[in-house]
Amino acid sequence: MEPAGNERTPPRVDEVASRVDDERVQFDRELVARIANGDERALGVAYDRHAAVLYAASVRMLADPLAAEEVVQDTFLALWSHAGSFDGAQGSLAAWLFAIARNRTLDHLRRASRRPRTEPTTAREDETDDLLETRLASGMPVGDGSTATDPAETVSRRWAAAVVRAVLQTMPPLERAPLELAYDAGLTQQEVAVRLGWPVGTVKTRTRRGLLRLRELLEGSGALDDLLEVQRGAR
Amino acid sequence: MEHADARERLVGAAADPSALDRLAALLGSPATTADTADGRAVTAGADASAGVPDPSAPAADAPEAADARADSDLRAHLETCAACRADLEGWRATAAAIRGALASPDPRPDAVPADPAALRAVTLARVRESGVRTDLPARPLVTGIRSGWASRLRRGAFSNPLRLAGVAAAVVALVLGTAVIRDLSAERDRAQQTARAAASLAATVDQVLQEPGARVVTLHGPASSSASGVLLWGPSSGQVVVMTQALAPPPAGSSYDCWFEQAGRRVVVGRMTFSGDLAYWAGPLDAWTSGDPSGLPFGVSLATAGGSPGAPMLVGRL
């Protein structure tokens, strides 16, 4: 175990991981080009690389496994149909797929949560996420509009949280651990380094990579714009 | 300080979430609170002073002094650079999203499809199908019932609860049977997914039918139609299951909505799901109704996205 707080060149694993990240993005671009030319095998590879995280986000939002599976199917059908319109300079394939999945997920949510205008619908504070998600997915109302929270704002936050949770779920533990310690346990980078027994430089490198990945996916999927809108509206 | 340096410093600040809020506060931005996915405010930055170095504080040793100088340069840059201030706001929103996600337990920590291989196969099969489906003739919205079980229900042939329990198995057999007849390799994967849905539905049907006082209601189509369906209602659980084979998949952008009427209002409670030729909806009704729902009209209508349900395709009384 390396002494904590010791600045030094990041170990080889991080250099490799960084290079792999770049290669992933480039490989995805090549995949999309092949998909645009009708290569089904390329679509299969793209599916294997991205389907799990899309499902993970969608099922958290919808609380309905079958509906989430439909979202995944629709997303890759859209990739197949519109691969030619993908612009790698605008963002990664992962972010593009998240944007499609977000729209499909919200379509499901709108259809499932269509509700009467006059039904008593107060969501109590002691209701859990699970219960709320069950109510949403089954088309049951979750609020009567009397609270301060705008439904669109709630949906924005829920989708952002779903994306973050899905990405964390599929993130390598070496990247997830320092992020969770910083954001969940509120530790500084130095404290994270002590806790994990890593050099501070390693903690910073891995945290940075995880943060950049999350930001890119939130930004590319449109979730960040929604959150910024909420943030601006709150002022 | 250059843009690239400023943005790199901002990524670094994002690693210490409260440092972002502190930085924004120094620039005059109001502090933000993170919210959980369900909108509950969490105390983001409440512990900002705990162990997080103040960027403006004088440093005691050389590395901290260098950091303080860099923070000072960053603040100076942010005050004159709108693009980097926007980047800071982006990081604050990202940080709020992460805090919001981690502030409450993840309700689905292992969110994976029930059968990943089947989902993959179905997805790729749909892609293959997408190239050959454009010339298929449109199906009518309402067709005659295709099997005898619903009409037997209408005649009251399943008034005995023990015999009703066979409905669940019939549903599974019916759906699987359809897929087997087609026996196309592309359909096999879809059949697996269909089977899972059917098994889940069958379990719900079985559960409802075992409730004391479970009711079976026949749903009828318009007068000009022979369409029919069945509604199962468990009064103890409030659970309702609606099934029919009389509906063709809805046009794109439309859905079949399930509703009941009470006190002059039509209340939409759910949306029919298709699994092979079977359309169904299962969900609770008791949370929607006030008082005993017995006798309330229940129906299924085609509705366009965002619109109100249209004329009933199926209707009956609870």
Question: Domains, chain A, ranges and CATH?
Answer: 12-115+122-233 (1.10.1740.10)
Rounded to a whole number, what is the distance in Å from the CA of A51 to chain B's nearest CA? 8
Q: Residues of B numbered 133-192 whose beta carbons fall under 8 angstroms of chain A's beta carbons: which are they?
A: none
Q: Which residues of chain A does B66 touch, with a Cβ-Cβ cutoff of 8 Å?
A: none
Please tell me which of the candidates A60, A63, A111 has its beta carbon nearest to residue B305.
A111
Q: Which residues contact B287 (CB under 8 A, 6 or more apart)?
A: A135, A140, B238
Q: How many CB atoms lie within 10 A of CB B188?
A: 16
- Give residues 214 to 273 of B whose Cβ lies within 8 Å of A: 255, 257, 265, 267-271, 273
pLDDT for position B61: 52
Let me know how long chain B is. Answer: 318
Kindly state the tokens that stand for A49.
């690389």
* pLDDT per position as a tens digit, A114-130: 543 333 333 443 444 44
Q: Which residue has the higher pLDDT, B181 or A202?
A: A202
The answer, for B100 touching chain A at a CB cutoff of 8 Å, is yes
> Between residues 21 and 80 of chain B, which touch chain A (CB distance below 8 Å)?
30, 32, 35-40, 47, 50-53
Q: Looking at residue B75, what is its pLDDT? A: 85
Which residue, chain included where needed, has tokens 């009467």? A116
Which tops the pLDDT comparison, B262 or A152?
A: B262
CB–CB contact A204 B15 (8 Å): yes
User: Minimal CA–CA distance to B35: which of A133, A161, A138, A99?
Assistant: A161
pLDDT computed for residue A179 by the predictor: 92
Cβ separation B111–A234 shorter than 8 A: no
Task: Give pLDDT, residue A47.
Answer: 93
**Whole-angstrom distance, CA of residue A76 vs CA of residue A51:** 8
Burial of B311 (0-12, 13-18, 19+ CB in 10 A): exposed
Q: Which chain A residues are closer than 8 Å to B279 by Cβ?
A: none
Residues of A in contact with B113 (CB under 8 A): 55, 65, 68-69, 72
Give the containing element (helix H, strand E) for A196.
helix A189-196
Question: Minimal Cα–Cα distance from A215 to chain B, Å?
Answer: 6
Task: Output the pLDDT for position A96.
Answer: 92
Does residue A199 carry a pLDDT above 50? yes
Per-residue pLDDT at A71 exceeds 50: yes
From the CA of A135, how many Å to the nearest CA of chain B?
9
Q: Is A6 helix (H, G, I), strand (E, B) or coil?
A: coil
The larger pLDDT score, comparing residue A67 to residue B66, is at: A67
How many contacts does A have with B, using Cβ atoms within 8 A?
Answer: 208
Q: What pLDDT band is residue A70 in, cutting at 50, 70 and 90?
A: very high
Residue A151's closest chain B neighbor by CA?
B39
Nearest-by-Cβ selection for B130 from A77, A110, A228: A77
Cβ neighbours for A121, distance < 8 A, ≥ 6 positions apart = A115, A141, A142, A143, A144, A145
* Cβ neighbour number for residue A189 with a 10 Å cutoff: 21
* B47: closest chain A residue by CA: A186
Q: How confident is the model over A4-15, as a mean pLDDT? A: 49
ipTM above 0.85, yes or no: no
For B261, the 3-state DSSP assignment is: strand
Helix B82-102 crosses helix A200-220 at what angle (to 10 degrees)? 100
Query: Chain A residue with minimal CA distance to B45?
Result: A186
The answer to whether residue A97 scores a pLDDT higher than 80 is yes
Name the residue facing A116 among B35, B116, B265 (closest C-beta): B265
Q: How confident is the model at residue A112, as a pLDDT?
A: 67
Q: What is the pLDDT of residue A230?
A: 76
Question: Scanning every residue of chain B, which has its alpha carbon at the shortest distance from the alpha carbon of A214?
Answer: B94
Low-confidence ranges of chain B (pLDDT < 70): 29-67, 131-199, 223-225, 286-290, 305-309
Percentage of chain A beyond pLDDT 70 is 72
- Tell me which chain B residues have a C-beta less than 8 angstroms from the C-beta of A191: 51
pLDDT at B149: 36
Report DSSP letters for B31-62, one per residue: P--EE-TTS-EE-TTTTTTSSPPPTTSPPSSH
Which of A53, A211, A221, A232 is the best substitution to test chain B (most B C-beta atoms within 10 A)?
A: A211
Of A224 and B141, the structure prediction assigns the larger pLDDT to: A224
Residue B254: the pLDDT is 84
Ramachandran category for residue B240: left, alpha or beta (phi over 0 → left; psi -120 to 50 → alpha)? beta
CB-nearest partner of A76 from B93, B123, B267: B123
Least confident among A68-82, A183-197, B63-77, B134-148: B134-148
Chain A hits for B47, CB-CB cut-off 8 Å, are: 186
Interchain proximity B99–A204, CB inside 8 Å: no
Confidence of residue A219 (pLDDT cuts 50, 70, 90): confident
Taking contacts as CB-CB distances below 8 angstroms, the residues of chain A near B265 are 116, 118
- A101 has pLDDT over 90: yes
pLDDT given for residue A56 in this prediction: 93
Q: Which residues of B touch A135 (CB under 8 A)?
A: 287
